[in-house]
A and B are shown apart, each in its own frame.
Chain A
Amino acid sequence: MNEQRNEKRIDELISRTINTAKPQFDAEKWKQKYPEEYQVLLSRAAKGDSVKQPKILKVILKSPLTKIAAAAVIILGVSIFITHQEPGEQEQPKIAEVTKSPVEMMTAISLERAFRRGGIEAVEEQCKQAYKPIGPRPGSLPIEWILAEFNGNGRSSERTKP
């Protein structure tokens, strides 16, 4: 029964972590609900004995509930760290490769920007990137495919070479 409850709790935690931007971990509630574990953690921390630190780990690993709690704290910490970074510190997406469509990449203003960055070579590179999604041309175009397209049964992807 207890195991079932734990599994439910794990499912809940996982679904929360996946479906929301930040995991909803309430430290106060957890403290009230699991006073024993909280006291153990507090006493270990107050002693500040580095030699005895592995025991905290033991306690955490011993109980499935503390395992979950520890996981939640780590996830929360990482997500807070990421969301509170300055925009400049966060990894910027490569505009030309990720966020821009071929049409956007082929406008005069966008290519001028490329020229300012890296001269005519950068312009050529951006054009190549823009034309890349067109992909391989059909090796052949059998009449069955044309008819299939005409009848609305065709799949464009089938017409390109692997």
Chain B
Amino acid sequence: MKTNKSIKTRTVTFAVLVLLVSATSACAYPPDNAAVLYYKAFTLYESPDNIGNMLWDYWKGKIKSNEKIEECLKKNRRIIDMVLDASRIDHCDWGLDYSQGTEVLLPPHHKARDIFALLAAEARTQADRGDYKKALGRCISIYRMARHLNERPIISYLVGIAINGANNQCITHFLSEMPQEAEILTWLRGELTELDKQPFSIEPVLRWKREAGIISMSPEKINDVVQSGLDDGPTKKKILERIRTANQQFFAKNITYWNNYMDGIEAAFDLPYPQGYAKLKKLDEELTKEFNKNTDATLTAVFGPTWQRIYSLSIRLNTHSNALKAAIEIYMIKARTGKLPNALPAGLPGDLFSGKDFKYEKTKDGFTLRCHGKDLDKDETYSYEFKVK
């Protein structure tokens, strides 16, 4: 009898404990989904009207801090903390309904760059105080946020590219101003290596683009998609005319054409830049020709975005990131030996436009890493300047 009673007591106690633990975890902050915090921060943050580009100029070191900047950072302290908390969470699910194909509704990513400027300005205040580790830590958080933003839709990827690119500039400024301390540089290198385990990649974007196109190539969806996706003009008119008389066979053949086209696109993204760019250009030209004479190419013309531009942007970002990693190694040599190396050390990440190492050049106040290859979309060759204090 006694045993029965003690079993009952133990069961009840256990149940109460389970309830307490689960209740605690259900109410825990931060949540286990970073998107919840991003949504909150993006909705609540409004860039002050009276501040203009001040936050951008401040993190770039063009202007000193002032009352307006300080007030803005103070007023938005909770937003900053919320985003920093979000960036530390591994899991990020924006809750997008991918079954809608290309008509999936996107999150309010237009606030992402404003939020970036806020975080970068806050990082700059840390740098102004001399706490470069903290400043660079903020930049690492921004990289994580950009990875969280990179959902499958192309637009999310492009917003991520914009933020990563600006963040690379931000780190370049800090590296150019701070004293070369081996400990901070080693820590930074470690953080970047850790980030590379979850690379900021276009692969999920390409896979989903194919899938989304197929979902949208249906009699129920296609009319709305064409109306939303194309500017008014002869091409749109022609596509709508063809859709009006379309049957099941039309859609089946268009899906086959789309799949073949996307095979070509994915293969081009895997090629070295000059070849990849040339292939994308060829695919684009072929599609334009085919569209006029082959009705199977009709819907591919709706879904094929400006791949050459997107490809060039992705190569540009990765090349800039490589330049930054190479620069950290050069700064580490400076930290160890007290002077910059005379030649570029071997085995450093290189220029993805050419597939070669960067051209290294010492300047009077630091060093420059130049690309060999040209951005064929912009007709521009990039160089990255780093200063040494």
Contact = CB atoms under 8 A, between A and B. Distances in A.
Interface of A: 92, 95, 100, 103-104, 106-113, 115-117, 120, 123-128, 131
A111 B228 CA distance: 9
A87 to B, nearest CB: 9
Contact of A110 (B100, B154, B229): B229
Contact of B108 (A92, A109, A115, A127): A127
Given A104-B228, A123-B158, A128 B104 contact: no
A71 B254 CA distance: 55
12 contacts: A92-B232, A95-B232, A106-B106, A108-B154, A109-B102, A111-B155, A115-B155, A120-B113, A120-B158, A123-B158, A127-B109, A127-B110
A115 B225 contact: no
B111 to A, nearest CB: 8
B231 interface: yes
Interface in B152-188: 153-155, 158-159, 162
Is chain A's interface secondary structure helix, strand, loop, or mixed overall?
Answer: helix
Nearest to A93: B232
Is chain B's interface secondary structure helix, strand, loop, or mixed overall?
Answer: helix
Given A120-B159, A127-B108, A109 B231 contact: no
Contact of B155 (A95, A100, A103, A108): A108
Contact of A107 (B104, B110, B230): B104
A109 B105 contact: no
Task: Select the residue from A108, A112, A120, A127 with max chain B CB neighbours within 10 A.
Answer: A108
Nearest to B159: A120
Contacts of B110: 123-128, 131
A92 B232 CA distance: 9
Given A123-B155, A124-B113, A111 B106 contact: yes
The 7 tightest CB contacts between A and B, nearest first, are A127-B110, A109-B102, A109-B229, A124-B110, A108-B153, A110-B228, A107-B103
Contacts of B305: 112, 115-116
B152 to A, nearest CB: 9
Nearest to B212: A108
A116 B158 CA distance: 12
Given A115-B155, A120-B159, A108 B232 contact: no
Contacts of A126: 110
Nearest to B161: A120
Given A109-B229, A120-B158, 6 more contacts: A100-B228, A106-B105, A112-B155, A115-B158, A115-B306, A120-B159
A75 to B, nearest CB: 29
Contacts of A116: 305-306
Given A127-B110, A131-B108, A108 B162 contact: no
Contacts of A109: 102-103, 216, 225, 228-229, 303
Contacts of A111: 106, 153, 155
B106 A107 contact: yes
A107 B228 contact: yes
Contacts of B113: 120, 124
B162 A120 contact: yes
B156 to A, nearest CB: 9
Given A115-B305, A116-B305, A116-B306, A108 B159 contact: no
B274 to A, nearest CB: 24
A113 B230 contact: yes
A92 B225 CA distance: 20
